[in-house]
Amino acid sequence: MSIYVDSWLIGSATMDSKKLALLCRELADNRKAEDIVVLDVRELSTVTDYFVIASGTSEPHLRAIVDEITDNLRDDHDLRPRAIDGTLHTAWVVLDFFDVIVHIMRKEVRERYDLETLWGDAPQVKPKKSSRKSTKRS
């Protein structure tokens, strides 16, 4: 499924929802988010296609992950979240990009709400292996 975002609300951009979910995963990884999971909930939810779930270790770490995702999607793809819920103080921030919902939370909050078990029937989407060559020295 592709998402279209109204320009007056969040910029005019179209991106395949799976591609967006994997891009959000990659951006979270850029800021060393932990235990990043992408769940395909298309068969289980009418609200969204994918969940991206990631953990941060502190309030500044959560901020860095949120900023990496929102800044890069805005600057490089003209995409902005439809809504942002939660705060850094609550240790759980949700970025709603229509067909992709990104959950960024502290480990203890993630363990308490256990979204992976709640959505346990959803298959995980694995990122494609990087095609970078190893740079080991001999």
Residue 84 DSSP one-character state: E
Query: Which residues partner with 39 through β-bridges?
Result: 51, 124
pLDDT, position 11 = 46
pLDDT, position 116 = 86
Residue 109 three-state SS: helix
Query: Which residues partner with 124 through β-bridges?
Result: 39
Strands in 83-87's sheet, in edge-to-edge order, are 34-40, 50-56, 100-106, 92-96, 83-87
pLDDT, position 21 = 95
Which structural domains are found in the chain, ordered by start?
Answer: 2-118 (3.30.460.10)
| Distance from C-alpha of 40 to C-alpha of 43, rounded to nearest angstrom | 8
**CA-based diameter of the chain, in Å?**
55
Residue with tokens 């949700």: 94
Using alpha carbons, select from 26, 50, 47 the residue that is nearest to residue 103.
50
Average pLDDT per block of 10 residues along the chain, 138 residues long: 38 74 96 96 90 95 96 94 87 93 95 89 80 42
pLDDT, position 50 = 95
pLDDT, position 133 = 45
pLDDT, position 86 = 87
pLDDT, position 112 = 94
